[in-house]
Structure 1
């Protein structure tokens, strides 16, 4: 009986030893993701310090950008950051500042900022080239389509529809207004001065218009 028990214990020991050996040969991924490039092939001898493959998580991505040091007073965690497609200028995704470096790069006089972006739809890829735009502040304002802006002699103009009674009859005429424009946002300009909320803006056919010309609204 004792010999049989000794045999069982020896077999259990051998199984445990085999499991340990298998454990050393099995590589477990530290994170969930998609396997990228594999740097070895079957039969290669690998070491513990050797890179076998890479695993990419695209459900959340991190953007690294350098911000000029003169903006340090405005930088704070939680600021909104927009990713912009460099070709179409469309907004791809919106994230938030998650990290601000405690030191400034002396050569560039800029500070490293990181922002995290959700990517559950899979539109973005690790290593993709994009542009980042920090939203420093928000406020109300006017946006007008880029097609409604006329550029002449380095100045910007827009046409608005006004009611005219000078000829004894009421009619709508086009009035040219000089406008001061801010940043372009997708397909619209920010209006800093020259237009008021509620005014009727003319957005088509502006190249054929002149100041004071009667107009007929489209139906």
Structure 2
């Protein structure tokens, strides 16, 4: 019986020891004073933040503007003389070639005058030839020949005048392009300046936009411009070919034009464009996220992670983009910048990096 009691006592003793060890590890037996003392010994709790390790990379100085797509060439076809339209020789929305006859206006009277002039011209030419032959034989005087020559020149001038008037009754395509909607019909009476149809060449097209005066010196012929339009999701690229020679005194901006091939005809003149123009590009720039910068009176600062603590660092900034700011002075590659908890961070405060990324501009 005594052996059984000893065995039971041993089991209880082992269980008690195990419970004590487990409770000690769990802190069941620590006093409140001990807790307070332990807290004082461990110091202030570190602030958890995110950080980024700076690496040099490319940075472009961009300006954004609004632009308009223009036709390479565009004209409103209109009548030069009054008269009734006798024929319309184009189909709306089709391509035409330079010199194609598009519209004719009643020219019957001018054609009659031309036929009459042709007879007179033929007679004047024969008369001048005879007088010239007789003059060579000294059969007529110089004065008689001069009158025949003057008559011939006068008739030739009248022929040229009639031909010029006939040209005004014929509307031809001044360049290759696509003709738009017509605004007249055969038989309609038109007057000078009356609109007949529009003609545009849309291969290539032009992109027109403006840049502020302070950036005008950075716009050079051959510079590449990126832009987007509502009808196309992807970004397109045009090349600057000309600028106005002066700044607009009203807007204080420089008007710039670039050309886009438009070989597939995807852009229509008159479309609204959002333009992204690169002024400068730095290949080895040090940048920090914009949210990491703290503005101060007379400058800026950031917090650098160093040996488990936050260290404030005064900086000079350069180029700004929507997401990043170039650091001109105050930081170097390899520095770790604190990017979150900026409002809570103080110089010398213990911090712990929860999420550390390496910058990749």
Match of 2:246 in 1: 104
Deviations 1:88-121 (A, max 9, x none): xxxx6554322234x335846865421235788x
**SS of residue matched to 1:217:** strand
- Label 1:107 to 1:123 Cα distance change in 2 as closer, same or farther (>3 A): closer
Deviations 1:159-204 (A, max 9, x none): 11112xxxxxxxx111111111123212111111111111111111
Higher mean C-alpha displacement, 136-145 vs 23-32: 23-32
Q: CA deviation at 1:207?
A: 1.0
Match of 2:327 in 1: 191
Match of 2:208 in 1: 63
Alignment of 1:1-219 (within 5 A): 24-27=89-92, 28-29=94-95, 31=177, 50=195, 52=197, 62-65=207-210, 68=213, 71-72=216-217, 74-83=218-227, 94-101=237-244, 103-104=245-246, 107=249, 112-116=255-259, 126-128=270-272, 130=274, 132-163=276-307, 172-219=308-355
**SS of residue matched to 1:207:** coil
Is there any run of 5+ residues in structure 2 with no aligned partner, and where? 1-85, 96-175, 230-234, 356-361
More helix by share: 2
Aligned equivalents of 1:146, 1:94: Cα separation in 2 = 28
Is the CA contact (8 Å cut-off) linking 1:174 and 1:209 kept in structure 2? yes
Aligned equivalents of 1:81, 1:100: Cα separation in 2 = 13
- Label 1:24 to 1:96 Cα distance change in 2 as closer, same or farther (>3 A): closer
Higher mean C-alpha displacement, 183-192 vs 147-156: 147-156
Aligned equivalents of 1:46, 1:186: Cα separation in 2 = 59
TM-score, with structure 1 as normaliser: 0.58
**SS of residue matched to 1:114:** strand
Q: How many residues align?
A: 179
Deviations 1:37-71 (A, max 9, x none): x6859999597963546879699651332564995
Higher mean C-alpha displacement, 53-62 vs 22-31: 53-62
Q: CA deviation at 1:75?
A: 4.2
TM-score, with structure 2 as normaliser: 0.38
Higher relative contact order (Cα pairs below 8 Å, separated by 6+ residues): 2
